[in-house]
Structure 1
Amino acid sequence: MLIMNKKLEKFLRKRKRAIKGPEKYKNIFEDNIVRITHYIEHGKTQGEEFSNERLPFAPWEKLNIELSGQCKIYENIAQASLVKDSVIDAEHLSYYLNYGYYELAIAHIKQKRCFIRFGVENEGVISPGSVFQLATAVLLHQYDYARQFYRLFENGYMKNWINRSKSHIGDFIILLFDRAKGDNTLKPIVDDFAYQAILDNWNSTDLTKVTAYLNQLCDDQVTQVASPPSKMFFEFDNMNWQFTPYAALMLLTLRAQHGLENPDFDHPGFGNVTSLLLTQPVAPQKDEELEQLVAKLHEQGFNEKALLA
């Protein structure tokens, strides 16, 4: 208990500082707008030189930080709002969700093309933080987006496409969605998976048991956020995803969507988690830059639904 108290104290200190996170991202945001504008105007990323006539790459396959950077910026703003006001910042999460939609669609297409082009699976290239897009889609009640994200993990989780850390929380988010939608086709790729009992009983009507599961998820996130980089919980070792209890919120949201009663759950690191749940769908939004970028992608023949069919 003493060790956990020390972890909680460190977590809460870091959490308090998270309010200033968007200020630290300000220059990154401005630089990223320059990158996106360059692509909109020129149809290619800055500094793009590589070409291969035998295996031509579409220009949008080179997009990377232009999308992932905006994801991190908008999620960080939403996180700071949550810490400050104890409410879900649905607006900025909706921007985060839409940038993530295109980031992960392109990543999925590239993974499929890699096998076709080179005959090998490209392992460890999907960011571990990408799983929080799936959790966010569930939280915002955007099932079509959740299904699109899940297709990437359904195809790639057991092929080691994801650059896993030592955390099992990302595995849990993927496997929970698989279990809740009824397919149960995926299995943990880690030994001694920490959350098998939660998966097996995610729809339990025993609220005492559900509360224990929520405590486990939140306690583990607190511990991992407070741990040094050497512990390799690297999705929690930066300015994103640390102070929003995505796994717990996803579990509660999926239960509510299936008509199950939820406990009134309070945690010392996150406050009242149940009160954060959204009851109505939040439509994904595009900012002006993403609107123009998507228009350019469509001009270049990008159609994620056709390319992933």
Structure 2
Amino acid sequence: MAPDRGGALTLLLALLLDAALGEPRWLWSRVPHPAVLMGRAVAWCDARFNTGDAPRLRGIAAIAALTLAAGMLGAVLSLLGPLAEVVIAAILLAQRSLVDHVTAVASALRASIADGRSAVAMIVSRDTTAMDRSAIARAAIESAAENLSDGVIAPAFWFAVAGLPGLLIYKAVNTADSMIGYRSPRYLRFGWAAARLDDVLNLIPARLTAALMALTNGCLSDWRAIARDAAKHRSPNAGWPEAALAHGLNLALAGPRSYDGTAQDFPWVNAAGRKHLLPQDIEDAAAALWRAWGAGVALAVLIALF
């Protein structure tokens, strides 16, 4: 389904509303955020179905049920009218909250390395206890790049394609992937369908995010190098925005890190870039997020007009 003028206008207003208000704590301290409700649904499926024989088939059935429920809910909510669609879409976008979380790491890191470790532990899953200043900054910047795609561009893309049903389906699948899409003994088979479907849904948005970043950071001419570095990532999609941001800011990202006490020797992305990173680099990455967001807003305006 191609985005129509009304859908593009709704998306534009939702992007602006999210940027203006972010995640109001007074509201989400009183009622559960929709993402929390989705997480509870995934957790229920995990507890109920991730047992016994044929875990892969059970996982396929679980993600199919979640996807169907999300699509049906989106269709029902769409009947509430354009204003409700704007508000719901804004709630499920995360530009303002993403930038707030990323810049909080920069502020904490300026105070001390210990504070920086505590702050970055809120947004990444890797081990943070032994991180130095550069590793903290690098983790925050990589999280910024990946979450611009997962939390902003991809939801906006699927809303443009299929309205609230598309947006809710994407968020449900992405939430499931973040909870059960791991290659661990418990989730290798049960979470397979969630991980693969998330890969498919992010295929276009991840590359679109990279293009927006490259365009707004003056490195579109480095697209071949960005594609080459993106291929080094263990994810078929996350490497694209990460590589684009690395080239745009001339930083070396990825590289060695530790998960669950095990050292992982990942290759560098933009290995020729600067490896000694500072809090200012995190703030430069946050500014790059806003530039890419602005390009996305301009794209929504063009669709709405023409």
- TM-score above 0.5: no
Task: Report the structure, 1 or 2, having the larger helix content.
Answer: 2
Q: TM-score scaled by structure 1?
A: 0.30
Q: TM-score scaled by structure 2?
A: 0.31
